[in-house]
Amino acid sequence: MRRRMLPLLMFAALPLGGAMAPAMPEPPAERVVLSRDTEAQWVPFDLTPGNQIQFRMTVDGRPVTAILDTGFSLSVVSRRFASRAGLKVSGGGEGVGIGGTVAMGQINGRILAIGGLTRSGGRLGVLDLPGGATGNGATIDAVIGSDLLRRYALDIDFAAQRFRLLPSGRLPFAGQTAPLSMALRDQFYVSEMSIDGTRLRPMIVDTGDGATITMSDEAWKSVGGVKPTTTTTISYSIAGPVTSELTVLPAVRVGETMVREAEARIEPGRGFSAQMGAAGRIGLGYLQRYRVLLDPGAGRMVMAAGSDVDRPPLRSTSGLLLGFYSDRLRVLHVMRGSPAASAGWQAGDQICSVDGQPITANYASEPISTWSVADPGRIVRLGMCGGGERKLTLERFY
């Protein structure tokens, strides 16, 4: 059965990974060119169920499916693509991602084309990119990171689902601003934010992280005032699953912008953010409420608010985070303090029907798929794949 992951809080989110920290020799000389008509070279994209920017580009003229991820400091291609294209892969590297470290190879001298940008020479990492990382079953061939993007102004128009690369210093639209620079060990995009008057910095600006806000455990402890109730959630990356605390903050400020009811994850112990020397990450759940211009060369992030800037987050009322397997749902995580936890649900339980309706291949697009975030008080009948039925009364628990 083909595994598929579905959206955050309706189901589990899937940040694809984090920064790459390879132990490799210096790359060969590279040449990067922006075309004269780069302003017109918009790249269309889809937001995956895992909340990443998925688009098409070419590597050596071959069309590939890629993710736009400022949280990767080295762009990579998948081992599947390298093998299919007959590319020679050198080993000896290691990547640091959300969830741990992974082995990484390298290839040199490829030609990459994204909208108005063409790069020849240079280096690409080679990784096993998990097929379930986007949640839509798509095979991901590449992840484009800050090594290609940071020289330019990256204009992301979420309303029109397109992006483009412009010369640094261009200001194609007006909006609120926040500081932006390249910093930390792996030269991340970094900014800052504040919660109830507590200033947190540096915050990694990570277009590959589908969450709204992620904080290190230390940063969370530094936030003053009365803190909201927390529960638990699970996410997946190139290095495996990670369990984090989850809460909804009354308000978060990033520069001149403010988002009310912002969902936030708190990484346990020495999580990825802490390892990178950051207070946390600003993810796509925050950024996609705006049209965003990321221009570290000009020292700014510009954000023009969209129509749903203050939309409230989807809150689970079931406590079940689920994976979809074409004809069934599999419990991946039971959220602490939830109705499902009280009812004894466990990771690995499998559901084959909801309120008498069988799980089919079209489940994700059917109205019944929203049951796990439905109104409190609703009683849902869940048919178990091994036989029998269990009832679950939905509640608000965080």
What is the DSSP secondary-structure string of 339-396? HHHHTT--TT-EEEEETTEEP-TTGGGSGGGGGGGS-TT-EEEEEETTS-EEEEE---
* 395 and 373 Cβ atoms separated by less than 8 Å: no
Per the structure block, which two tokens stand in for 208?
Answer: 């590959």
Give 241's pLDDT tier (boundaries 50, 70, 90): confident
* Each residue's pLDDT tens digit, 95-149: 666 656 778 899 988 999 999 999 999 999 999 887 656 655 578 999 999 999 9
In angstroms, how far is CA 208 from the centroid of its own chain?
4
* Each residue's pLDDT tens digit, 318-338: 999 998 888 999 999 999 999
Q: Which of 229, 269, 207, 226 is nearest to 15 (CA)?
A: 207
Residue 4 in this model has a pLDDT that exceeds 60: no
Distance CA 345, CA 357 (A): 20
> Please, what is the average pLDDT of the chain?
89
Give 25's pLDDT tier (boundaries 50, 70, 90): low
Residue 236 in this model has a pLDDT that exceeds 60: yes
Q: Which of 331, 196, 200 is nearest to 278 (CA)?
A: 200
What is the set of domains in the chain, with CATH numbers? 9-166 (2.40.70.10), 176-305 (2.40.70.10), 320-393 (2.30.42.10)
Pairing of strands 62-68, 142-144: parallel
* Each residue's pLDDT tens digit, 278-299: 999 999 999 999 999 999 999 9
Give 22's pLDDT tier (boundaries 50, 70, 90): very low
* Each residue's pLDDT tens digit, 46-55: 998 778 999 9
Residue 1 in this model has a pLDDT that exceeds 50: no
Per the structure block, which two tokens stand in for 129?
Answer: 């990119």
Look at residue 316 in the predicted model and tell me its pLDDT: 96
Q: What number is the average pLDDT over the span 20-45?
A: 82
Residue 223 in this model has a pLDDT that exceeds 90: yes
Give 28's pLDDT tier (boundaries 50, 70, 90): confident
Residue 23 in this model has a pLDDT that exceeds 70: no
Distance CA 214, CA 204 (A): 9
The residue among 240 and 155 whose pLDDT is bigger is: 155
Q: Where are the beta strands (DSSP E) in 296-339?
A: 300-305, 320-324, 329-334
Give 170's pLDDT tier (boundaries 50, 70, 90): very high
* Each residue's pLDDT tens digit, 340-365: 999 999 999 999 999 999 999 999 88
Q: Of 13-22, 163-172, 226-235, 320-329, where does mean pLDDT reach its minimum?
A: 13-22
Look at residue 245 in the predicted model and tell me its pLDDT: 96
Which residues, in sequence order, are CB contacts of 344 under 8 Å at separation 6+? none
SS3 of residue 113 by DSSP = strand
Diameter over CA atoms, the chain: 64
Residue 201 in this model has a pLDDT that exceeds 70: yes
Q: What number is the average pLDDT over the span 243-267?
A: 96
Look at residue 14 in the predicted model and tell me its pLDDT: 36
Give the percent of the chain with pLDDT over 70. Answer: 88
* 303 and 159 Cβ atoms separated by less than 8 Å: no
Q: What number is the average pLDDT over the span 167-171?
A: 98
Look at residue 98 in the predicted model and tell me its pLDDT: 63
Look at residue 203 in the predicted model and tell me its pLDDT: 98
